[in-house]
């Protein structure tokens, strides 16, 4: 990011805590996009915790659902 000043986000590649750990350990992205619908609340919290410990940013995405 320093050379070109462009941040890389892991979006669809993060489907589990194991995926997040691979991204973090491999220094593959600056941001992990977390989708609650795919990971669930507990899965999202685990990834947020792992990202915070590694100083990786995380974005949580929740799709708006209208109830009838």
Report the predicted TM-score, pTM, of the whole model to 2 decimal places: 0.77
* The dihedral formed by the CA atoms of 15, 13, 50 and 48, expressed in degrees to the nearest 10: -70
Q: Which has the closest alpha carbon to 8: 62, 56, 64?
A: 56
Q: Measured between alpha carbons, how far is residue 37 from residues 42, 60, 63 in Å? A: 11, 10, 7
Q: What is the bridge-based pairing of β-strands 9-10 and 57-61?
A: unpaired
Tens-digit pLDDT profile for residues 15-37: 999 999 999 999 999 999 988 88
Q: Which has the closest alpha carbon to 21: 63, 49, 62?
A: 49
Q: pLDDT at position 66, please? A: 62
């Amino acid at each position: 990011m320093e050379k070109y000043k462009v941040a890389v986000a892991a979006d669809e590649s993060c489907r589990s805590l194991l995926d997040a750990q691979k991204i973090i350990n491999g220094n593959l992205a600056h941001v992990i996009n977390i989708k609650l619908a795919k990971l669930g609340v507990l899965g999202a919290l685990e990834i947020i915790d792992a990202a915070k410990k590694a100083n990786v940013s995380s974005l949580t995405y929740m799709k708006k659902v209208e109830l009838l």
